[in-house]
Each structure stands twice: as structure tokens, then as C-alpha cells.
Structure 1
Amino acid sequence: MESVMMPLLVGLVMGGGVGAVTKSSCPLPAEIHPCLCFDDDPLGLVMDCSGVQDEIELARSFTANFPTPDFYELKIIHDPMNQRLHSLEKSTFGEATFQRVNITGTQIIAIDGYAFDKSKSTLTMLALDGNRIAQFPFGSLQRYTRLMALHLAHNNLSLIPQLASPVLKLLDVTGNRPLVVEGEAFVKTPSLEQIILSHTSQEKLERGLFTTSTKLSVLDFSDNNLKEVEDGVIVTPNASMTLLDFSNNKITMVRHDAIIGLASNAHLSLAKNEIMKLQQLHWQHIFDQLRLPYGRIDLSENPLLCGCDIAWIVLNEEYRKLFTDTTKCINGEMVIYLDPLLYITMCRPFV
């Protein structure tokens, strides 16, 4: 009996006993060259293929004898001036699966709708920033049951069609310009929390884009060419938005009921625009959605005249204190320190 138990005990001590889990291991380095594999414990295996030159070399690396096809992350970080990787095909990654993919700086123009199909039940983040993607298979999103973050910033996309994903939480398409966003782009993405449309040459917003976005918390339209925020363009079913960014546009007017859905602690930025007046008819609905001490409105670097049109703000301490301390009148005076007594005296017909 003792002779039987001793090997078993040794095996348990060494981690190879009953119920022990064999740790995933990388393939032989020579078989995946120029890709590299390493164990990012405790997350899992990482495949770094930054050294590949083109599609053929990348695909060949994934024909190796893999002890396991399951990887935590795929990385391809290129100098955009030196590589010749132009596309990702259906067969590029063989049987490999990934939880995260980070590909940047390549010459990739198009991605096959099935390029990451083996990862449709494992992929949680797909980061493809800084490539040359003009064709992305948006229609395949609904097959990815765990994909929560899609990063497509600084590519050559021209259209965001209607998306369909029950789990997607973040979409970043910064720097794709000019970019057209279809009117029903977000109707079938009920979990979206962050939409980044910065620097996409937006000139006019469609009404009703976000009327089904029940969880939207961050919406970024900064660095565009917007001249007016029209009524009904930013409307969400819940008061869920904590950050709404319209900074660095050319906005002169925000219309009545243009923005509905701000959380009481939201930060609304309209910095670096061309707003001169804050008429009560158009602006009060925004102020009424915010509450101190966390709600804030940033109108810094606007040519605010601070005339009697803002008496309704100056005479309401809670409204006035919603401004950031960087929000100033055209004469340099901070709005939060404007004197209510002066406005009572000078603007009597308006107050």
C-alpha cells in the first residue's frame, strides 16, 4: 500500500495529481517566428506578432502546432511606414481564439467578416486604432457575444451603419473623417455606454440618434464642425449622461430641448465655441437637469457678452455656480463671480 501511495503523494505535491489543471503553454518559438508568445500570468498567453511583415508571414505563424488555441491577447504594433500588412482574412488566425486584440499602425485596409470568428464567444475588446481601415464588417458584431469595447479610432471609415450588438458598451471612431452616422445606427445597441465621435467632421446631427440609448453615459462630439445644436438631437430616455462634450466646434446656438438626458452630476463642455448669448428660453432646460456640487457647465473660450440675457443665471446662485471657474465673459470676468446686485440695477426690465 505504501508503495502505491508514495508516487501519488509526490504527484500531488508537484502539481500533477488528481484534479490538477495543466497550465497552457506557448508553441515552439521557431514555429511561430517572427511572432512571440509569452505567459502574462495570471491573465493568460499573449501572442505578439509585431514582427510580421505581411499577411503571408502572419498566417504562417498561426499554422504552428499550438498546445492550446486559446490566447488572452493578440498584439500587432507596427511602424506605419515600414510594414506591408494590408488585410486580415478568414483563415489568417487558424484555430486561435483571443479575449483581446490590439492591432495598430498597420496598412490594413479591409478585414474579412470572419477573421476573428473563432473568437466570437471569447473576444471582449477589439482595438484597431491607427490603421487604414476603410471596410469594417460591422454586420458581424451580433455574432460576438462578449465584445464590449470596439476601438476604431484614426482609420478611414466613411460610414457607421446600423449596428447590432446586445453587449457592446464602447464605440470609439475618433478621427475617421468625413464620417456619416446613419439615423438608426444605435437602435440595436442597448448596452452602449460610451460613444466617441470626436474629430469626425460632423456638421449637422440627426434627430433621434440616441432615443433608445438607455445606458448612455459618455457622448463625445468634440473637435468637429458643428455650428448649432438643434432641438431634439441629444435626447436619451434616461438621465444617464455624465459627460457630454461639444468642445472645439463652431457652435453659436443651442436650441430649446436640444439636450435632454443629462445626469444631475453631468459635465457639459461647450468650451472653445462661438457662443455669445445664453437666452433663458433655450438654456434653462439644461441648467434644470444639473445639480451642485458635481454638475458642471464649461463655456470657457467663448465670446460671452454677459449682458442682460444672462440675468436669469446671475440672479440664481445655483445656476451661476454650475459654471466652471474657467468660464469667463468676453472682458475676462469669471461668470461665477458676476455681481447679482449690478444685474438687478442694470437689467430691471429683464428680471
Structure 2
Amino acid sequence: MVHTKLKYTPYFSISSFTFIMIRLMLLVCVLVSFAAAIPWLSPAYWLSPRAWPCPEDAAIAPCTCYADDDLNLFMDCQNLDSFQQLVDIFQVDFPFKKFGRLQISNSDLRDTLTAAVFPDGFMFREVIMFSNNFLDVDPDTFLPSKTELTFMEFSDPTPNFPLPAELTQLPELREAVLSVNCSEIPAWASDSLVTLTIRCLQDTEFPSPLNLSHLSALHLHHTNLLGVPVNSFVGSPGLQTLSLNNDQLASFDDGALSFTALHQLDISSNALTTMPQLTCGCEIQWLLGEDDATMPLIGIQNVTLVCDDGSGKFDDIRNVLDQLC
């Protein structure tokens, strides 16, 4: 008896291509399900006109959030109606909280600014705030940004500075521009600050000394500064530019003007009638400049040097100091 081997033919067959397509479809389904929990996985998130990686515009209005080509984030808040509006905006779900710059301006906030306004995670490299009618500001407000903050500009008639008493707590801070209702400049110490501008709205006392070891430029013009104590600048040996114009200075104590690297000193528009006698030594090289035309005090009268013969020519003194200092 002959047995015939029957060939089995399935009711349907799956080609390799079809099998691959089915697996791709399953993968898409998985991604779509994840997108519900992770918004940025959704195609709609990328195709919508929103300013990703910022929140929806309507959620933070009137603030605006945007990113530059290098993905630095910027937050700009203007014309806020109340302090609570500012608080509510920073309670919105932000995809990212590390900002290149925060600016808050021209707002009527009338409350005390504290770190609680910016919940855990917010960090700012630059902070600019002016004309906001803050009642006060906690000096520790921006300590959460201590590893990022390099620039601070703050202008409001608050009694306190927006910086901690221990400026070393902000080790990356390079420049500060501050205008508040102060009567004393803090005796700050910092190894990072390079440029400092302060304007006080009251008659102002100057600390002695100001220990800013890397300070290059100090601007205290229009500060109602009453005096400059002896050795005020010995803690800032790299100081090159000092602006004391439009203050209330009537004189300088002997030893107040002691510098090692100063190139420019502006003490115009004060009530100065006399200047301290300066002893001829290495400490006056800053005063002589490279030539008579570049002397920092060229427009100030009654500057006397004990080694000056009265001729008003300082070339011989410069030559000696260049050789010996």
C-alpha cells in the first residue's frame, strides 16, 4: 500500500515584512501610552506653537519664557499686578528650572521677596529686578542659585541688599549692581566679585576695609557717601577703577587713598577743598599714571607730594618709582 505524504497548508501566513510591521505598531502603542504620562513624548507637544521647553504661555502670563539657540532659558516678568501673581506663576509646572536669566520689572508687588517665591529646583545665572515696589528682600533669597549666580542687578527702595552678609556663599558671583535704601555699605568679603556698583538712597558710611580680593572696578557714584576711612581698599589690591563722583565727600583722611593697581579715579562733583598729603613711595604710582595727561587726579587741585619740587612735573618721580617699585 502506497502512502501519500500530505503537505500542510496553513489557513494564513505571515511574511517577515508583515511581522516587522506588527512589532513596530506595538512599539508605537507603547510610546503613545507613555506620552500620556510624559508630555514631551507626544508628537503634539513638539508640533504645537508653544515655546518648549517652557510652560504654556497662558499659564505664566504676563511673564514670558523662551530659549535661545543654545537652549539657555530666559524668564521675563513685567507689569505684574500683585505679589500673589508672582507666587502663582512660579507654582506652575516648569519642564526645566535652570534659567540663564530672570528679569522682574515695573511691577506693583508690595511684599517681601524670599526664597519661597521660587520653589525647590529653580536656579538663575543672572537676576535683574528693578521698579517692583518690594517692601523688603530676604538677603538669602538667591542662595539656592549659589552654584550658578554670576550677575545680580537689583533696584528698589528696600532697606536690605538682596545678597547674604557672607558673600562667600555666592562663590560664582562676578558682578553686582545694587540700588537700595541703605545707609551703610556691608563689609563684604568675596574671592569672585570683579565689578561692584552700589547706590544708597541715604547718607552712607563706608566699611573699612572692603575685602574683595579680585575686585577690579568699584562704582560708588551718586551714593551719598560721607567719607572714606583709612585703609578702605587694602583688601582689594587689584582695584583698577574707582568712581566716587557725585557724592558728599569733603575731604579724605591721610591713608585713605592707598592703591597698588589703580588706573582711574573719579572724585568729581564732590565738596572737596583739600586732598591728603601723599608720601612719595610705591603706593602713589597709581596717581602719577604713565604721563601727565593720564594722571587720574589731573583735574583736582591741592594734591601735594612731599617729593614734588613745585614745578608740577612728575617725570623724574615716575622714573624713580618705575625703577624701584
Note whether the superposition's TM-score is higher than 0.5.
yes
In 2, are the aligned partners of 1:232 and 1:258 still within 8 Å (CA)?
no
**Is 1:234 aligned to residue 257 of structure 2?**
yes
Corresponding residue for residue 215 of structure 2 = 192
In 2, are the aligned partners of 1:190 and 1:213 still within 8 Å (CA)?
yes
In 2, are the aligned partners of 1:31 and 1:65 still within 8 Å (CA)?
no
**Is 1:158 aligned to residue 183 of structure 2?**
yes
Paired letter, 1:113:
P
Q: Secondary structure at the match of 1:173?
A: strand
Corresponding residue for residue 312 of structure 1 = 311
In 1, are the aligned partners of 2:182 and 2:200 still within 8 Å (CA)?
no
Per-residue deviation at 1:165? 2.1
Corresponding residue for residue 348 of structure 1 = none
Per-residue deviation at 1:96? 1.4
CA distance in 1, matches of 2:96, 2:71: 15
In 1, are the aligned partners of 2:204 and 2:226 still within 8 Å (CA)?
no
Greater CA radius of gyration, 1 or 2? 2
1:105 to 131, 147, 153: 131
Q: Render the CA deviation track for 1:12-38: whole Å, top value 9, x for unaligned.
A: xxxxxxxxxx99711111222221101
Paired letter, 2:114:
E
**Is 1:217 aligned to residue 240 of structure 2?**
yes
Residues 1:258 and 1:89: Cα distance change in structure 2 (over 3 Å)? farther
Q: Render the CA deviation track for 1:79-101: whole Å, top value 9, x for unaligned.
A: 6xxx2343211211123111101
Per-residue deviation at 1:262? 7.3
Residues 1:263 and 1:72: Cα distance change in structure 2 (over 3 Å)? farther
In 1, are the aligned partners of 2:152 and 2:176 still within 8 Å (CA)?
yes
Corresponding residue for residue 247 of structure 1 = 268
Residues 1:206 and 1:61: Cα distance change in structure 2 (over 3 Å)? same
CA distance in 1, matches of 2:279, 2:231: 11
Could you list the runs of 5+ residues in structure 1 that have no partner in the other structure? 8-21, 267-285, 320-351
Please report the TM-score for the alignment, with normalisation by the length of structure 2.
Answer: 0.72
Corresponding residue for residue 73 of structure 1 = 101
Residues 1:100 and 1:262: Cα distance change in structure 2 (over 3 Å)? farther
Q: Render the CA deviation track for 1:238-293: whole Å, top value 9, x for unaligned.
A: x31111111111111112228987796x6xxxxxxxxxxxxxxxxxxx43xx2238
Q: Render the CA deviation track for 1:127-163: whole Å, top value 9, x for unaligned.
A: 003x11211243152211211111113x211122221
Per-residue deviation at 1:200? 2.1
In 2, are the aligned partners of 1:240 and 1:262 still within 8 Å (CA)?
no
Residues 1:38 and 1:86: Cα distance change in structure 2 (over 3 Å)? same
Q: Render the CA deviation track for 1:288-329: whole Å, top value 9, x for unaligned.
A: xx223873345548699xxxx995116x6789xxxxxxxxxx
Residues 1:43 and 1:211: Cα distance change in structure 2 (over 3 Å)? farther
CA distance in 2, matches of 1:159, 1:75: 26
Corresponding residue for residue 195 of structure 2 = 170
In 2, are the aligned partners of 1:169 and 1:191 still within 8 Å (CA)?
yes
CA distance in 2, matches of 1:199, 1:261: 31
2:146 to 117, 120, 138: 120
- Counting matched residue pairs gives 267
Per-residue deviation at 1:102? 0.6
Q: Render the CA deviation track for 1:156-204: whole Å, top value 9, x for unaligned.
A: 11122221322111221124321122223x13x2122221111222233
**Is 1:257 aligned to residue 285 of structure 2?**
no
In 2, are the aligned partners of 1:24 and 1:45 still within 8 Å (CA)?
no
Q: Render the CA deviation track for 1:210-262: whole Å, top value 9, x for unaligned.
A: 112121111111112222223100213xx311111111111111122289877
CA distance in 2, matches of 1:231, 1:126: 34
Q: Secondary structure at the match of 2:222?
A: coil
CA-atom RMSD in angstroms: 3.3
Q: Secondary structure at the match of 1:59?
A: helix
In 2, are the aligned partners of 1:234 and 1:259 still within 8 Å (CA)?
no
Corresponding residue for residue 291 of structure 1 = 290
Paired letter, 2:222:
H
CA distance in 2, matches of 1:317, 1:259: 13
CA distance in 1, matches of 2:64, 2:146: 23
CA distance in 2, matches of 1:173, 1:86: 23
Paired letter, 1:135:
N
Per-residue deviation at 1:53? 2.1
In 1, are the aligned partners of 2:292 and 2:298 still within 8 Å (CA)?
no
Paired letter, 1:61:
I
Please report the TM-score for the alignment, with normalisation by the length of structure 1.
Answer: 0.67
